[in-house]
Structure 1
Amino acid sequence: MLDRRARALLTPSLDAAAARLAALGVPALALTGVGWLLGVGACVAAAFGGWLLALALWLANRLCDGLDGPVARRRGSTDLGGFLDLLADFSIYAGFVLAVGIAAPDARVACLALLVSYYLSGTAFLALSSLQEKRKAIAPDNRSLQFVGGLAEGTETVIVYCVFCLFPGHAQVIAWVFAAAVLITALQRVRFAVLTLHTPSSPRRT
């Protein structure tokens, strides 16, 4: 819901930083790898109740994620880079929820519900992306995959994980509310699929 506004606000600064990193020869995959390690650190810190450290590492992870794409576009983006970037994001998203469940036992059922909602929303997202590519749909934001928006997008995830770190005593409520938001997003993607995929795709020419 907030991704478009967040990108409009942050893109100029991220592009400027990415231009400097690209000029220095920093590979986009290196940023993806460093970001993933920072994300793993955030998960470990959260699991042990080090919430302020988890917050700092989580924000650093998001910064790297915001830089690797612009750097890749300057140095030459690859499908492998897009694949690894998405895999890194999904693994940290899930790992952080697992860490919250470890640190806050009363929130474990809510965290499990959140992971299930991620599974449903992620499946809808990946299936839609694949079918949109099959139909030769053009991704409007130069990202590796076609993103279908909804109530809970990347920006909302960043905010919610920050709220987890700042108010860990309310983890159960936070997880339940966000699980509902992600489930609504999954339903929005299903609705989008019903509206856009009901006609047969054009046959591929051989």
Structure 2
Amino acid sequence: MLDAPARNLLAAPLDAVAARIDRRWVTPDRVTMAGLVLGLAAAGAAALSWWGVALALWLISRLADGLDGPLARRRRASGLDTTSGDAGGFLDITADFAVYGAFVLGVGIGWGGSMLPFLTVLLAYYINGTAFLAFSSIAERSGRRLDDGRSLSFLGGLAEGTETIIVHSVWVLAPAAAGPVAWVWAGLVLLSGGHRMVVGYRILRAPAARATGSEV
């Protein structure tokens, strides 16, 4: 729900940072991998209940995740990289799933209470991931692509990347409340997953010329 306004708000600052780090050896894929490593380290810190370290690593990893796209577009515009867009998009979404899942598991271990709310969050992530990845693949093949500048066709919802960053940050800022927050978050993500299933089905049933994404 907040991804579109967040992208509009952060586009100029991220482009400026991408311009500052644009060096031959700083490739978009390496930035993606740095985000992956930092995100997994954040999950490990959370599992050890090193909450301040986990928060810092988590936010830096998400900054890296936000920079790989602007850097890739900058490289393509300059003609330095015209071949790795699809591969980079694949690497980016795979890294995101790995980091999100690992961080949920890390917080679930570190907070010291029941793992059930965090396992429910993982189930909700699984349903959402299945819905939007399946939709993106079929929409691409059938001429119903939703193009917002990203590598995949993303169906909007109540729970998107921006909300995920915020909620995961809240977990490590207030670890004593992590379990109850996880229950609420799991409910929202499950609701969002159901919404994506319905909207995706409707878009794919519509004639390709009419599938503009206006139902999202």
TM-score by structure 1 length? 0.93
Using the alignment, how far apart are the partners of 1:32 and 1:197 within structure 2?
Answer: 31
Separation of aligned partners in 1, 2:183 and 2:118:
7
Is residue 191 of structure 1 aligned with residue 193 of structure 2? Answer: no
C-alpha distance in 2 between matches for 1:40 and 1:30:
15
Q: Distance in 1 between matches of 2:36 and 2:121?
A: 21
Tell me, yes or no, if the aligned pair for 1:42 and 1:57 is still in contact at 8 Å. Answer: yes
Conserved 8 A contact 2:143-2:208: no
Aligned pairs for 1:151-162 (under 5 A) are 151-162=158-169
Task: Give the match's secondary structure for 1:197.
Answer: helix
Q: In the alignment, which of 93, 98, 102 is matched to residue 100 of structure 2? A: 93
| CA distance in structure 2 between the aligned counterparts of 1:149 and 1:107, rounded to whole angstroms | 31
Residue matched to 1:168 = 175
Opposite residue 50 of structure 1, the aligned amino acid is W
Aligned to 1:126: 133
The residue identity in structure 1 corresponding to 2:163 is: E
Structure 1 stretch 66-75 or stretch 150-159: which is displaced more?
66-75
Instruction: Tell me which amino acid in the other structure corresponds to 1:111.
Output: F
How far apart are residue 17 of structure 1 and its match?
Answer: 1.2
Aligned-CA RMSD value = 1.5
1:126-145 matches, within 5 Å, as 126-145=133-152
Number of the residue aligned with 2:74: 74
Shift of 1:201: 6.4
Deviations 1:39-69 (A, max 9, x none): 0110010000001110000000010001001
Question: Which amino acid counterpart does residue 82 of structure 1 have in structure 2?
Answer: G
1:28 aligns with 2:35: no
The amino acid across from 2:74 in the alignment is R
Distance 1:94 1:13 in 2: 28
Contact 1:107–1:171 (Cα < 8 Å) also in 2 = no
Residue 106 (structure 2) pairs with residue 108 (structure 1): no
The aligned amino acid for 2:29 is L
Work out whether residues 107 and 175 of structure 1, in 8 Å CA contact, stay in contact via their aligned partners in 2: no
**Which blocks of at least 5 consecutive residues in structure 2 are unaligned?**
76-80, 210-216
1:186 Cα offset (Å)? 0.5
TM-score in terms of structure 2 length = 0.89
* Partners of 1:35 and 1:62 within 8 A in 2: yes
Displacement over 4 Å in runs of 4+: 199-202
- Unaligned 5+ runs, structure 1: none
Matched, 1:18 2:18: yes
Asked whether the equivalents of residues 144 and 208 of structure 2 are also in contact (C-alpha less than 8 Å), the reply is no
* Code of the aligned partner of 1:11: A
The answer as to 2:55 corresponding to 1:55 is yes
User: Is residue 65 of structure 1 aligned with residue 65 of structure 2?
Assistant: yes
Farther-moved stretch of structure 1 (139-148 vs 166-175)? 139-148
Aligned 8 A contact 1:54 1:165 in 2: yes
